Structure formats: structure tokens, C-alpha cells
Amino acid sequence: MDRKDLSLITEGWDYNPREVRARWVKTASGEAEVQLRLDLGVLQMRAEGRPDGQTPRGFPSLLDYYEELERTVPEDHPSLQFDEDMCAELQQEAVQYYYRYLAYSALGHLDGVIADTDHDLSIFDLVAEHAIDDDVAWQFIQFFPYVRMMNSKALAEKGLREKNYDEALAAVEEGLCDIRNFMQDYTDEDEDFEDCPEIRTLQSLQHKIIRMQPRSEEDRIHEELAASIASENYEHAARLRDRLKKLGKTPF
């Protein structure tokens, strides 16, 4: 069998449309790269920089190039305007980062997901600012809810790994706020956008984080106090009220 035959690479690693399958591989030079299984084969991407390893215009990415151009354009110069060809190049780059953060998400590489979704969100911002018309810009920003959800989810999961529940909850709440603002701006007034999959995903994660948050001593005493009152165990309830007073809290 020809060593160039992709079936040698995909053997034992079948495509599954119901889940994202990815894996780390080591190149001949010893560098780690990431592979993503697709229906027609495998994508192999660099772990750092642009997924295809290119340096467009001598910059790490097209985003870096245009952000530098944006910073250096003189004030009296006409503002940057992205035509369809420029946007097509940026869209190709955004898709590369999309494939990589899908792979990183499947691998649990949260820092990679955060960095790559940040990259695509910055591309959306850039195109929204400079695209030649709104139709061209919409080709990018229509995906904002999904990418923002993936970004918020990865930030929250990182917070959970570090047992920083407040940080995790804040990441979800900020993501929900941004997506709701987007929906209000870009959907019909009578449309119920609360049922969109991105909002439902983050709400589910929000509830999970709340359940996982360690309860304070005050919370535990309040729960025990409510149970004591419900069971008419007033003597125990009085002792619990005394404990709350010592904590400097006013019992109900």
C-alpha cells in the first residue's frame, strides 16, 4: 500500500458525525501538532500561530497584519476598507482557527480554545468596522453567538478546573449578556431568542456552576434553620439563630 494513502492515517480512527474527534501527533521534527478527523479525511494543524503555519505579509496572521495597518494609518488618510477579496482571505483564516478550536475543545485544551476564539472574535470586530458593506460583514458576524459561546464556555471550564467558581460564573454571565445584546440587535422584536442553542448551552453551564459552588457556613445554617422551623423544632432553631448572630448575620 502506498504510504501516501490516507487510509493508513485514518485506520482505526473513524469519522463520527455525532462527536468531534481530534488527537495530538508529533511531527518528524518532534513538534506537537493537532489532527481533526473529518468525513473526507484529516486536517493537521500547527499548535501555535496560524494553523497552516503561514505568515501572511510577514505577520503571524492576517489579523495581526490588519491590526498593525489600522494602528499605523495616518489620521488624515482615508479609513481602511475591506473589499470582498480581503474579506475572503480573512474568512479563510477564521475558518482555520475554527477547525483548530474545535479540535482543542475535543482535547480539553482550554487555553487553545480561548486564544483561537478570541482570534476569530477579533476578526469579526475588524470586519464589522471596515467591510465594504453590511452584507459582507454579515458573512462573519452571523457566527458571533456560536464563537462567543465557545469562548465563554472555555473560560468557565478553566475557572472550574481551578475551583474558581466566581470567575467561572462571571465568564458565563458575560457571554450570555453579549449574546443577548447581539440577538436584540440582529433579530426580530417578536422572536424568542432565549431558545437559541448558544444561550441554552450557557444557561445549562450556569446552573451547573451554581450547583457546584461550595456553600458557606451561613448558607448551611439557614437551610438547617428553615428545616427546624418546618419540623417545629424551635429549640434547635433558637440555637441556630444564636450561631447566625455570632457570624454577624441577622436570621430571618
d(CA 78, CA 124): 21
Quick one: three-class SS letters along 63-128? HHHHHHHHHHCCCCCCCCCECHHHHHHHHHHHHHHHHHHHHHHHHCCHHHHHHHHHHHHHHHHHHH
| Mean local confidence (pLDDT), 48-67 | 96
Stronger pLDDT, 193 or 100, i.e. the higher one: 100
Residue found under cell 500547527: 46
- Tell me, what's the pLDDT at 79? 75
- Tell me, what's the pLDDT at 137? 94
Nearest C-alpha neighbor of 165 from the set 200, 133, 211, 196? 211
Tens digits of per-residue pLDDT, 224-245?
778 878 888 878 878 878 877 8
Please report which confidence band the pLDDT of residue 15 belongs to, taking 50, 70 and 90 as the band edges.
very high
| Mean local confidence (pLDDT), 62-91 | 87
Please report which confidence band the pLDDT of residue 249 belongs to, taking 50, 70 and 90 as the band edges.
low
| Mean local confidence (pLDDT), 216-223 | 70
Q: Return mean pLDDT, the chain.
A: 90
| Mean local confidence (pLDDT), 24-32 | 92
Q: How far is CA 3 from CA 6, 8, 9, 44, 126, in A?
A: 8, 7, 9, 17, 43
- Of the listed ranges 63-72, 190-199, 213-222, 238-247, the least confidently predicted one is 213-222
d(CA 195, CA 187): 13
| Mean local confidence (pLDDT), 191-198 | 84
Tens digits of per-residue pLDDT, 156-186?
999 999 999 999 999 999 999 999 999 998 8
- What residues contact residue 166 under an 8 Å CB cut-off, 6+ apart? 159
> CB-hemisphere CA count at 13 Å for 156?
26
- Of the listed ranges 61-65, 135-139, 246-250, the least confidently predicted one is 246-250
d(CA 237, CA 221): 10
User: What is this structure's pTM?
Assistant: 0.83
What order of strands is seen across the sheet that includes strand 41-46?
Answer: 22-26, 32-38, 41-46
Nearest C-alpha neighbor of 118 from the set 90, 87, 80, 144? 144
Over 80: is that where the pLDDT of 3 sits? Answer: no
Over 70: is that where the pLDDT of 135 sits? Answer: yes
